[in-house]
Structure 1
């Protein structure tokens, strides 16, 4: 089996916006430099946490291009290139490749898309021909298409299809994917330590925006098989990861990142910043993380 290309923590970085709702590239550079200094060595640009669905095609491509330029080879760069039309996905993937991305994450066809396995296989095969490693994105509760163990096994036969990111939130089903022996990445923040123990090969983690140092520490402890340390670190992270998983995920991640010094402004409309009456609960969930991340 070849070596996995995107092990450990892949940060689904929040896209920063200014007060007018435009992408704030100055803040993007500032945050990327801080994450690099914290030890982050892989970024996912235009992620769900990065508000991909609320970026225009041109904005997403600009974000990927500028982000890759800022990283400048100091970390890996993955780009989300999901779109409704397969032709758009292929074009976005080719442009991400030319901008310096080393892989792409792509949703299966969504919004009344096909549910037949062969149609999904054909879709990913066409995307993979654009020339970048493709990470499938399993989030059935939002898309209506589930990547099953049987489908993952078939997808993994496509040259260029390298892994599936599972954000379904069901540890039992994720473990079934892992047992196929194919590469699986966890995308459900509240499952991180359990997913690592189950054998996930990597993490695409939005919650790491507000606690990158602690998140990297838990990944390192798991890699060393130090599960006692993993549990102790997870005690620090669990309250916040549980909170963001209860709803208003993106808004809560943006609010928490502001409190730990990785502010990205407010989410873009139609989302709004978290209401003031909910900030104390976010602050309480972070507890010692604020001080720990500032060290």
Structure 2
């Protein structure tokens, strides 16, 4: 399975009562499709999956599945705190018609490298579902180390790794060490162009929620071989990307959607609202992007 283009790590719209807002979701996805995304990644960390019930997660997955058109890749976030929970979530996503699952380490538990190997192998054996690993050590507290990747790299169902460590050295290591075995997927948004240079053909992108035209244009520009233009575009995007990476990531994504005219509501508690100063800073960084 070839991963390519920009696939938004989708936010989940909520209404004023805190319920999933499917009307806002429709408007949001329609806007993203018009910008040129190549697929959909619901129920990842940007989607606040850890604040939703299993039924709500299934509603989101089914809604996105029903919205998708042929040729658009469907990648379901199916993470859970236990291996059994991941297996159950992944099997339900597979039954809905998802093409692959995006899996970080089980949260809260901080498993060892050997435990992670056993965990991913158990999920593979129970589901036979293609998996994109998700490396986000700042959030998960555990790195998917070389020991884990070495153990899994020759399984054809491990198709890629979304690398969100922020370490270019690690991205280069993945690109060179696992060439032809594990696809490098950009997940460190403020150095996305560097990932592209080192072979990332796809970008599972949270910022695509609020700057889809710009990030899709950057991806297309790089594919044409115009590196000078791509660098200029990345420079324009960099400040907003860097502010996102500095904290309150999901709140800023959702505020960015509001700024661009497709509001998706607030985050669920315990995530609180942005301060006026945080809004002003991010809005200023978004200004050169809004009319891309």
Give me the TM-score of the superposition, normalised by structure 1: 0.93
- Larger relative contact order, structure 1 or 2 (CA cutoff 8 Å, min sep 6): 2
CA distance in 1, matches of 2:201, 2:35: 21
Contact 1:65 1:99 in 2 (8 A): yes
Q: Report the CA distance between 1:55 and its aligned residue.
A: 1.3
Structure 1 residue 211 corresponds to structure 2 residue 215:
no
Q: 2:176 aligns with which of 176, 179, 183?
A: 179
Structure 1 residue 155 corresponds to structure 2 residue 135:
no
Instruction: Indicate the SS of the match to 1:274.
Output: coil
**Cα deviations by residue, 1:141-190 (Å, 9 ceiling, x for unpaired):** 22232123343232122341111111111111121111111311121111
CA distance in 2, matches of 1:192, 1:34: 22
Q: Report the CA distance between 1:131 and its aligned residue.
A: 2.9
Unmatched segments (≥5 aa) in structure 1: none
Aligned to 2:274: 274
CA distance in 2, matches of 1:290, 1:47: 25
**Is the deviation greater in 11-20 or in 148-157?**
148-157
Aligned to 1:286: 286
- Count of matched residue pairs: 288
Contact 2:252 2:282 in 1 (8 A): yes
**Is the deviation greater in 10-19 or in 150-159?**
150-159
Contact 1:110 1:145 in 2 (8 A): no
Structure 1 residue 5 corresponds to structure 2 residue 2:
yes
Structure 1 residue 51 corresponds to structure 2 residue 48:
yes
Aligned to 2:19: 22
**Cα deviations by residue, 1:92-131 (Å, 9 ceiling, x for unpaired):** 10111111211110112332342133x2222112212313
Contact 2:184 2:201 in 1 (8 A): yes
Contact 1:32 1:71 in 2 (8 A): no
Q: CA RMSD in A?
A: 1.5
CA distance in 2, matches of 1:275, 1:17: 20
CA distance in 2, matches of 1:155, 1:231: 34
Contact 1:46 1:79 in 2 (8 A): yes
Structure 1 residue 124 corresponds to structure 2 residue 120:
yes
CA distance in 1, matches of 2:147, 2:95: 33
Instruction: Indicate the SS of the match to 1:179.
Output: helix
CA distance in 2, matches of 1:199, 1:146: 21
Contact 1:251 1:271 in 2 (8 A): yes
Structure 1 residue 144 corresponds to structure 2 residue 164:
no
Q: Report the CA distance between 1:277 and its aligned residue.
A: 3.1
Instruction: Indicate the SS of the match to 1:219.
Output: helix
Structure 1 residue 97 corresponds to structure 2 residue 90:
no
Unmatched segments (≥5 aa) in structure 2: none
Q: Report the CA distance between 1:137 and its aligned residue.
A: 1.0
CA distance in 1, matches of 2:156, 2:119: 13
User: CA 1:179–1:204 in structure 2 vs 1: closer, same or farther (change >3 Å)?
Assistant: same
Instruction: Indicate the SS of the match to 2:132.
Output: strand
CA distance in 1, matches of 2:261, 2:96: 28
Give me the TM-score of the superposition, normalised by structure 2: 0.93
